[in-house]
Amino acid sequence: MQLFRASIAHFPTSTATFEDDIAIYKDGGLVVEDKKIVDVGAYDAIRDRYPLATLNDFTGKWILPGLIDSHLHFPQTQSIAHYGEQLLSWLENYTFPTEMQFADPDHADNIAKVFINQLLKNGTTTGFVFTTVHKTSSEALFNAASEIDMAIVAGKVCMDRNCPQTLQDTADTAQADCAELINTWHNNGRNRYALTPRFAPTSSDHQLAALGELATQYNDVFIQTHLSENLDEIAWVKRLFPRAEGYLDVYDNYNLVRERSVFGHGIHLTSQEWARLGETNATVAFCPTSNLFLGSGLFDLTTARAHNVHVALATDVGAGTTFNMFKTYGDAYKVSQLRNAPISPFEGFYLMTQGAAVAHQLDAEIGNLNPGSVADFIVVEPRFDELTALRIKADAAFDDVFFALGILGDDRAIEQTWISGRCCYDKKSLQ
């Protein structure tokens, strides 16, 4: 049994009043045994309850739940940070050529390891991940995550049109491959499967129907895709699906809008689409760094809240410009400033921890530091360089620490990342 001493912050429950429901212990204790959290609270009380526990003293640092990235692309690890495109040309010029390389299983294995390492060094302990059309790319990622007992939700991208021939599958092969991957990996250890049509323009009606059949057959799998990211994309969807009432309706017609559906972006939604997302308990992944980088638009968090739509923060690497969720919050703050509704540090923290876990129906396992949850957590050193030491006072309140890290932070703030009760990243061991 291990006892960790540090300042601690987490959201124990689902909430819409972030300042009131966050639990903060300036001198806190976290008890871990094997893979699970046993207890959390004020250090003096915790120490007295567990006098034989081995002490790990991180006084002056913060312990937070492991961060959840709700939308990103592991093949694009190597195509991040290319100049000068918007969505459709980005896919054609950078994404598709990069993904072709994943026909080679050895390449997929190598990039999967790099990808997992990037998550760990940035404090991300769960990712919702698009792989490629190749079944082996999903297998590579699940294998890499399983080696450290990491919670990953991932799926083979499905595309049977409007993409290079070498990246096309068919409705039948997509359905067969996904069924095999579900039966092999879904709920195998901490792995979960997500049916993953890239977006409506690259899937025919026949393919969407085939994936919808799987969604009905396996009602606890996740569904992830893209929605209303770019105005040219939306116009293209209207031409391809003239009978649909809108972009979301394309997916809805094939039973792909429901709980555990995660739609990337959702920037240009109609009021009817917002209402439908709310009533189906679906989730929108807010990807601010990507939206700014590709010039896609400004996400409307206020309207999402008004329709009771689950929102989770996400990097969207590689159109997203960082693996770091603190920096992702920093850009979310800038987007919300431009909409005259700045997102508070408390809400930003919630949307990458407990809020994301609640949206994905995983809060019994991740997103918090509750007793019984898996011991996925991070140790954060806010004062990691001369500037942050100057800006962040030693006794700063959590919201001030978190906000400053959103603007000034990067992977140097992550001291350690723990997965299933085991330290899987230690910054000092790399120095």
Same domain, yes or no: 134 and 235: yes
Q: At CA 350, angle to CA 349 and CA 351, rounded to 5?
A: 95
Structural domain tally of the chain?
A: 2
Same domain, yes or no: 334 and 401: no
Let me know how many helices (H) and strands (E) the chain has, helices first: 18, 16
Indicate the residue among 334, 359, 384 that finishes a domain.
359
**What single string gives the DSSP state of each residue in 101-166?**
GGGSHHHHHHHHHHHHHHHHHTTEEEEEEE--SSHHHHHHHHHHHHTTT-EEEEE-EE--SSS-GG
Can you tell me the distance from the alpha carbon of 372 to that of 190, in angstroms, rounded to the nearest whole number? 15
Same domain, yes or no: 123 and 173: yes
Same domain, yes or no: 247 and 307: yes
Quote the pLDDT of residue 58: 98
Type of residue numbered 405: L
The predicted model scores a pTM of 0.97
CATH number at 410 reads 2.30.40.10
Same domain, yes or no: 25 and 137: no
Same domain, yes or no: 289 and 196: yes
Same domain, yes or no: 72 and 210: yes
Contacts of 87 (CB under 8 A, 6+ apart): 229, 230, 232, 233, 294, 296, 319
Quote the pLDDT of residue 431: 60
Quote the pLDDT of residue 80: 83
Same domain, yes or no: 327 and 213: yes
- For 97, 228, 307, 344, the CA distances from 116, given in Å and listed in that order, are 22, 28, 35, 29
Buried b (16+ CB within 10 A) or exposed e, 38-48: bbbbebeebee
Same domain, yes or no: 419 and 342: no
Same domain, yes or no: 192 and 307: yes
Can you tell me the distance from the alpha carbon of 12 to that of 323, in angstroms, rounded to the nearest whole number? 25
CATH number at 240 reads 3.20.20.140
Type of residue numbered 377: F
Same domain, yes or no: 250 and 277: yes
Same domain, yes or no: 415 and 345: no
**Which H, E and C letters describe the chain, residue by residue?**
CEEEEEEEEECCCCCCCHHHHCEEEEEEEEEEECCEEEEEEEHHHHHHHCCCCEEEEEEEEEEEECEEEEEEEHHHHHCCCCCCCCHHHHHHHHHHHHHHHHHCHHHHHHHHHHHHHHHHHCCEEEEEEECCCCHHHHHHHHHHHHCCCCEEEEECEECCCCCCHHHCCCHHHHHHHHHHHHHHHCCCCCEEEEEEECCHHHCCHHHHHHHHHHHHHCCCCEEEEEECCCHHHHHHHHHHCCCCCCHHHHHHCCCCCCCCEEEEECCCCCHHHHHHHHHHCCEEEECHHHHHHCCCCCCCHHHHHHCCCEEEECCCCCCCCCCCHHHHHHHHHHHHHHCCCCCCHHHHHHHCCHHHHHHCCCCCCCCCCCCCCECCEEEECCCCCHHHHHHCCCCCCHHHHHHHHHHHCCHHHEEEEEECCEEEEEHHHHC
- Tell which residue, 219, 210, 220, 342, has the closest CA to residue 288: 342
Indicate the residue among 359, 385, 405 that finishes a domain.
359
How is residue 95 annotated by DSSP? I
pLDDT, tens digit only, all 431 positions of the chain:
999 999 999 999 999 999 999 999 999 999 999 999 999 999 999 999 999 999 999 999 999 999 999 999 999 888 888 786 777 777 878 888 889 899 999 999 999 999 999 999 999 999 999 999 999 999 999 999 999 999 999 999 999 999 999 999 999 999 999 999 999 999 999 999 999 999 999 999 999 999 999 999 999 999 999 999 999 999 999 999 999 999 999 999 999 999 999 999 999 999 999 999 999 999 999 999 999 999 999 999 999 999 999 999 999 998 899 999 999 999 999 999 999 999 999 999 999 999 999 999 999 999 999 999 999 999 999 999 999 999 999 999 999 999 999 999 999 999 999 999 999 999 988 76
Type of residue numbered 255: N
**Is residue 378 within 8 Å of residue 63, measured between CB atoms?**
yes
Show the domain range for 259. Answer: 67-359
Quote the pLDDT of residue 79: 81
Indicate the residue among 359, 376, 400 that finishes a domain.
359
Quote the pLDDT of residue 306: 97
**Is residue 132 within 8 Å of residue 157, measured between CB atoms?**
yes
